[in-house]
Amino acid sequence: MTLGQFTRFPAKFRDREESINYVVLTNINYSVEEDKIVVTSQTESGYQQEIEILDNKISLRSPCKVYCDCESFKYEFSHAVFKQNSLLHPFKLLRSVISRPKIKNPYNIPSPCKHIARLAREALKIKLK
Ligand SMILES: [Zn+2]
């Protein structure tokens, strides 16, 4: 999946779009590595986010992998994101990776949680040196 796809909720979850604006992220950091750019953050309540951009620049079309340890991402979206081969640290979410979220996301639509969506937007503002 691309960074652009992680900046917003898909149509099915559009009613959550507003919630992205209220997310407060602290400690937004990034590191440029040989074949990827890693962007991390956390929320005030302690959830950790990570986006691995598999590109030498940060653009809407950059392919990436994501992770957040909040309940929403774990129980609703991580399975679908895993199926798209865009889940970071699948071993930390092994139960979600194995079983489909039949009730919480019956059509298994890949989506960010609000934290990942916010971090993806912040990542697009980073000016690489
Ligand atoms: Zn989250």
Query: In this predicted model, what pLDDT tens digit does every residue of 111-126 receive, in sequence order?
Result: 999 999 999 999 999 9
Distance CA 73, CA 54 (A): 21
Q: Tell me how far apart the terminal alpha carbons of the chain are, to the nearest angstrom.
A: 25
Residues 14-41, mean pLDDT to the nearest whole number: 96
Residues 49-74, mean pLDDT to the nearest whole number: 97
**Residue whose token pair is 């898909």:** 10
Query: In this predicted model, what pLDDT tens digit does every residue of 71-112 receive, in sequence order?
Result: 999 999 999 999 999 999 999 998 888 888 889 999 999 999
How far, in Å, is the centroid of ligand 1 from the Cα of 32? Answer: 23
Distance CA 1, CA 118 (A): 16
Q: What local confidence, expressed as pLDDT, does residue 95 receive?
A: 86
Q: What local confidence, expressed as pLDDT, does residue 32 receive?
A: 96
How far, in Å, is the centroid of ligand 1 from the Cα of 8? Answer: 13
Q: What local confidence, expressed as pLDDT, does residue 126 receive?
A: 96
How far, in Å, is the centroid of ligand 1 from the Cα of 128? Answer: 25
How far, in Å, is the centroid of ligand 1 from the Cα of 9? Answer: 12
Question: Residue 62 carries which side chain, given as an amino acid letter?
Answer: S
Distance CA 39, CA 75 (A): 23
Q: What local confidence, expressed as pLDDT, does residue 96 receive?
A: 86
